[in-house]
């Protein structure tokens, strides 16, 4: 994705949320959190808020593949 700052990444994800593109925002946040910005707190907080919002929104994807994927992410528990 190139060189991107934490602030710019959060702004991009937030912009997608403002456009009500929840899936796109979720996918981008996931990609960034699992990549070069894996240790940025604000982006992880944003990603968690997206997952919580997704839980409240009806979805085709079962819960087992949504929120649980985040919890078992290698980056979520980096000290294992």
pTM beyond 0.85: the answer is: no
Please state, in angstroms and as integers, the Cα–Cα distance from residue 27 to each residue in 17, 33, 48, 58, following that order. Answer: 12, 10, 12, 17
HSE-up of residue 66 (Cα within 13 Å, Cβ side): 18
Q: Give the end-to-end CA distance of the chain in Å, rounded to a whole number.
A: 27
pLDDT tens, N- to C-terminus, the chain (80 residues): 567 889 999 999 999 999 989 899 999 999 999 988 888 899 999 999 998 888 877 656 555 455 555 555 555 555 44
> How many residues belong to the chain?
80
Domain boundaries along the sequence of the chain: 6-71
What whole-number distance in Å separates Cα of residue 46 and Cα of residue 26?
A: 9
């Amino acid at each position: 994705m190139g060189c991107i700052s934490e602030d710019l990444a959060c702004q991009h994800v937030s912009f997608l949320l403002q456009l009500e593109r929840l899936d796109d925002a979720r996918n981008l946040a996931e990609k960034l959190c699992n990549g070069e910005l894996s240790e940025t707190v604000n982006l992880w907080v944003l990603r968690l808020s997206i997952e919580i919002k997704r839980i409240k929104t009806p979805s085709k994807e079962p819960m087992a593949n949504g929120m649980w994927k985040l919890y078992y992410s290698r980056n979520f528990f980096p000290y294992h």
